[in-house]
Amino acid sequence: MVDRALLAWLLESDPSLRWQVQRDLADEPEDVWSATRASVATEGFGARLLSLQDEDGRWAGGAYFPADASEEEAGQPWTATTWSLGALREWGVEPSALRPDTAGLLARNARWEYDDLPYWGGEVDACVNGCTLADGAWLGADVTAIADWFLDHRLADGGWNCEWVEGSTRSSFHSTLNSLVGLLDHEARTGGSPALRQARHDGEGYLLQRGLVRRSSTGQVHAPWATHLAYPYRWYYSTLRALDYLRAAALHDDRPPDERMAEAVELVREARDADGTWHQQLRHEGRTWFDVDASPGEASRWLTFHALRVLTWWDTRPPPPGASNREAAEEASPAPRLPAPSTASPLHPDERPGTAPIALGPG
- Report pLDDT digits (tens) over 152-177: 999 999 999 998 988 999 999 999 99
Secondary structure of the chain in HEC code, one letter for each residue: CCCHHHHHHHHCCCHHHHHHHHHHCCCCCHHHHHHHHHHHHCCHHHHHHHCCECCCCCECCECCCCCCCCCCCCCCCCCCHHHHHHHHHHCCCCHHHCCCCHHHHHHHHCECCCCCCEHHHCCCCHHHHHHHHHHHHHHCCCCHHHHHHHHHCCCCCCCCCHHHHHCCCCCCHHHHHHHHHHHHHHHHHHCCCHHHHHHHHHHHHHHHCCCCCECCCCCCECCCCCCCCCCCCCCCCCHHHHHHHHHHHHHHHCCCCCHHHHHHHHHHHHCCCCCCCEECCCCCCCCCCCCCCCCCCCEEHHHHHHHHHHHHHHHCCCCCCCCCHHHHHHHHCCCCCCCCCCCCCCCCCCCCCCCCHHHCCCC
What local confidence, expressed as pLDDT, does residue 3 receive? 92
Rounded to an integer, what distance in angstroms lies between the CA atom of residue 131 and that of residue 184?
11
Distance of CA 294 to the CA centre of its chain: 18
Q: What is the pLDDT of residue 222?
A: 83
Average pLDDT of 337-360?
35
Tell me if the domain spanning 4-359 has CATH number 1.50.10: yes
Looking at per-residue pLDDT, the higher value among 346 and 352 belongs to 346
CB 295 within 8 A of CB 280: yes
Q: Which residues does 291 contact at the CB level (< 8 Å), separation at least 6?
A: none
Q: How many CB atoms lie within 10 A of CB 352?
A: 8
Using CA atoms, how far residue 152 sits from 113, 167, 199, in Å, is 22, 15, 10
What would the pLDDT profile of 257-291 be if each residue is shown by its tens digit? Answer: 999 999 999 999 999 999 999 999 999 999 999 99
pLDDT in tens, 62-120: 999 999 999 899 999 999 999 999 999 999 999 999 999 999 999 999 999 999 999 99
Cα dihedral sign for 66, 291, 54, 363? positive
What is the rounded distance in angstroms from the CA atom of residue 155 to the CA atom of residue 112?
24
Q: Could you tell me the residue ranges of all domains in the chain? A: 4-359
Q: CA 14 → CA 9, 40, 216, 361, distances in Å?
A: 11, 8, 40, 30
Output 262 or 348, whichever has higher pLDDT: 262
Give the number of other Cβ atoms within 10 Å of residue 244's Cβ: 20
> For 287, how many CA atoms within 13 A lie in the half-sphere containing its CB?
17
The fraction of the chain above a pLDDT of 90, given in percent, is 81
Say if residues 79 and 60 touch (Cβ distance below 8 Å). yes
Whether this prediction's pTM lies above 0.85 is answered by yes
CA–CA distance from 42 to each of 22, 50, 180, 201, 310 (Å)? 18, 9, 30, 37, 29
The mean pLDDT value of the chain amounts to 89
pLDDT over 60 at 334, yes or no: no
> Looking at residue 354, what is its pLDDT?
28
